[in-house]
Amino acid sequence: MAKRREMETFSLSFLDVICCGLGAVILLLVITKIYEPITIEQSQIRRQGLLAVLQEELFQIRGDTAIVNRGLKTVEEELAEEEDLLSRLKRELTAIRGQFAATQDEASIDEQTQGSLLAARQMLTEEMKRLLRLYKRPDDDTTVGGIPVDSEYIIFVLDTSGSMFNGPWDIVIDRISETLAVYPKLKGIQVLNDEGKYLFSTFAGAWMSDSPQARQNILRRLETWEAYSDSSPVEGITEALNTYYDPDKKVSIYVYGDDFPGSKGSIESVARYVDRVNRADASGKRLMRIHAVGFPTQFGGGVSLNAIRFANLMRTLCARNGGTFVAVTDTSSRSRFRIRIPGI
């Protein structure tokens, strides 16, 4: 009997332990389930935050892509413009080379013609010599060496860039002195650089009176004149035309330079602008003559496109505006002009 009681007591204690263990497991499950919604909510918040960051990065990438595309389009347009400019320059170079070849042929013919004329003069009869002494140049012939000198006012537009001032500047001053010498008496003189800056600022917009002393003052001042220049004659020509154009005055512009950068526009656009300002009179003649003197400072290491553009620009302006283009063939010494007369 005692043995049976002992067995029942053991069995009840075991069941109590089992029940307590199960109760503890159930309690843990209940506690875990209580905090599970909070964990899920926090996880959703983190995912939403991550999604917002990714969307913001996506918008930023789209904006950067749009900027890059616009920049690429701009670069493509600039490349197309540069290719177009290069094509135009190549065409101009081809035309200049053709003109240069033709000029060489003309020079050869001129030399032959000059030799023939000298031989013919040696065979002049006495009667021919007498008639030649009686010859008088027509009163309306106002040219010297093929250059018209009928103007009463002259304006010098000088390239003061480093290639000119540190190069053939002494020759420039000599040529200006020679140009002034073919005009015995002028009503007015003005000197600008290619940027439109005046040699004597006190005479800006006005005319300097002509006199031997005034000419000497100009030549002396030119010896030390240093003024900024971008090597383009456009601004100086524009200033001369806009300030001194006067239908009641005979004016000549003399341009001295060696360079015309491509960034200053096309030759034809400059020529059209000059045509609009320097209007022709009833007989079709331009009211302001444009002459030019070119210096070969840009040909040392090969043909420079900017030097060719300058020569082509000035030949065009001289031809359209009743002037003459003159090329200095050698800057190593004070050499003679090589004259290129439009239409001849």
Please tell me whether residues 170 and 122 are part of one structural domain. no
Please tell me whether residues 158 and 262 are part of one structural domain. yes
- Rounded-to-integer distance, Cα 51 and Cα 55, Å: 6
Domain that holds residue 316: 144-340
pLDDT at residue 215 in the model: 94
Please tell me whether residues 62 and 150 are part of one structural domain. no
Please tell me whether residues 184 and 246 are part of one structural domain. yes
pLDDT at residue 41 in the model: 64
In a domain, 193, yes or no: yes
- Rounded-to-integer distance, Cα 154 and Cα 244, Å: 10
- What CATH number is associated with residue 273? 3.40.50.410
**Span between the terminal Cα atoms of the chain, in Å:** 155
Please tell me whether residues 149 and 246 are part of one structural domain. yes
List the pLDDT tens digit at each of the 344 positions of the chain: 545 555 555 555 767 777 777 777 777 776 665 555 656 666 777 777 788 888 888 888 888 888 888 888 888 888 888 888 888 888 888 888 777 776 665 555 556 555 555 554 444 445 555 554 554 545 544 444 445 667 899 999 999 988 888 878 888 998 899 889 888 889 999 999 999 999 999 999 999 999 999 999 999 999 999 888 888 889 999 999 999 988 888 899 999 988 888 777 788 888 888 888 888 777 777 878 999 988 877 654 445 778 888 888 999 999 889 888 888 776 665 444 433 333 32
Whether the Cβ atoms of residue 322 and residue 148 lie closer than 8 Å to each other: yes
Please tell me whether residues 102 and 186 are part of one structural domain. no
In a domain, 8, yes or no: no
- Rounded-to-integer distance, Cα 209 and Cα 335, Å: 30
Last residue of some domain: 135, 166, 201?
135
In a domain, 326, yes or no: yes
- Rounded-to-integer distance, Cα 100 and Cα 307, Å: 14
pTM over 0.75: no
Please tell me whether residues 229 and 298 are part of one structural domain. yes
Three-state DSSP at 254 gives strand
In a domain, 10, yes or no: no
**What CA–CA distances, in Å, run from 160 to 54, 152, 232, 236?**
61, 25, 10, 11
Please tell me whether residues 222 and 314 are part of one structural domain. yes
Residue 313 has what DSSP assignment? H
In a domain, 234, yes or no: yes
Please tell me whether residues 188 and 99 are part of one structural domain. no
- Rounded-to-integer distance, Cα 290 and Cα 318, Å: 5
Three-state DSSP at 58 gives helix
In a domain, 36, yes or no: no
pLDDT at residue 342 in the model: 38
Last residue of some domain: 135, 158, 179?
135
Please tell me whether residues 163 and 232 are part of one structural domain. yes
pLDDT at residue 196 in the model: 93
Three-state DSSP at 192 gives strand
Q: Give the total number of structural domains in the chain.
A: 2
Nearest to 255 by CA among 326, 167, 158, 152: 158
Helix axes 169-181, 212-222, angle to 10 degrees: 170
In a domain, 99, yes or no: yes
Last residue of some domain: 135, 168, 198?
135
Please tell me whether residues 117 and 185 are part of one structural domain. no
- Rounded-to-integer distance, Cα 52 and Cα 37, Å: 23
In a domain, 225, yes or no: yes
Please tell me whether residues 178 and 321 are part of one structural domain. yes
